[in-house]
Amino acid sequence: MVCPRLARALSPLLALTLLATLGAGPARAQTLTGRVLLPGGAPAAGVLLLALSATSDSVVRQAATDADGGFTLAVPPHPIRLRALRIGHMPTELGEYSLRPGERRVVTLRLIGAPIQLRPQVIAAARQCVATADAGEAVVTLLEEVRKALTLSTMRQSQGDLSMRVLRYSALTAPDGRSLGTRNLTVRAGASSRPFQSLPPELLSQVGYVSEDRGGTVYRAPDARLFLSPEFEAGYCLRVEDEADSPLIGLAFSPMGDADIVRIRGTLWVDRTSLELRRLDYLYDGVRRALAGARLGGSVSFTRLPSGIWFEDDWEIRMPRTSILQQVGLSGRMTETEVLDAIQADHGKVLSVSLENELIYATASPVQDSVGSRVISDLAAARPGVRADSLLEMASCAAGMEGASASIMGAVRRRPSTAVSNATVSAEWKERFRVTGFHQWSWTQRTLRTTSATDGFYSVCGVPTDRLIEVAATYQEHRTRTIAVRAPASDIDLWFARNEIPETSERSTLLRVSTADGEPIPFAVVSVGGGKPRIADEEGRVALDVDPASTPQISVRRLGYRPFYGMMPRDSGGAVAVVLDVAPSTLDAVRVTAASSPLERVGFYERMLMAQRGAYSAEFITPEEIREKAASQTSHLLTGSVYVTIGMSAEDGRRRAMALGRNDCRMNIILDGQRINPENGALEGFVAIDDLVSGRTIAAIEIYASNANAPA
DSSP class per residue in 32-79:
EEEEEE-TTS-B-TTPEEEEEETTSS-EEEEEE--TTSEEEEE--SS-
Spatial strand order of the sheet with 564-567 comes to 534-535, 525-528, 553-557, 564-567
Whole-angstrom distance, CA of residue 77 vs CA of residue 71: 18
Report which secondary-structure segment, H or E, holds 212: strand 210-213
Whole-angstrom distance, CA of residue 485 vs CA of residue 313: 12
Across 667-682, average pLDDT: 70
CA dihedral 603, 604, 605, 608 (to 10 degrees): 120
pLDDT at 242: 84
Residue 25 banded pLDDT, cuts 50, 70, 90: very low
* Residue 684 DSSP SS3: helix
Give the CA radius of gyration of the chain: 32
pLDDT at 298: 93
Under 8 Å CB-to-CB from 28, ≥6 apart: which residues?
76, 77, 101, 102
pLDDT one-digit tens code per residue, 691-704: 888 888 888 999 88
Across 391-397, average pLDDT: 54
Res 594 pLDDT > 70: no
The widest CA-to-CA distance across the chain, in whole angstroms, is 106
The strand pairing partners of 61, in sequence order, are: 51
Res 133 pLDDT > 70: no
Burial 390-421 (b: 16+ CB within 10 A, else e): bbebbbebbeebeeebbbbbbbbbbeebbbbb
Q: What does pTM read for this prediction?
A: 0.60
Q: Is residue 597 left, alpha or beta, with left meaning phi > 0 and alpha meaning psi from -120 to 50?
A: beta
* Amino acid making up residue 238: L
Res 283 pLDDT > 50: yes
Residue 158 banded pLDDT, cuts 50, 70, 90: low
Backbone φ and ψ of 397, nearest 5°: -65, -45
pLDDT at 171: 86
Strands annotated E in 364-439? 405-414, 418-419, 424-437
- Based on the number of CB atoms within 10 Å of its own CB, is 64 exposed (0-12), middle (13-18) or buried (19 or more)? buried
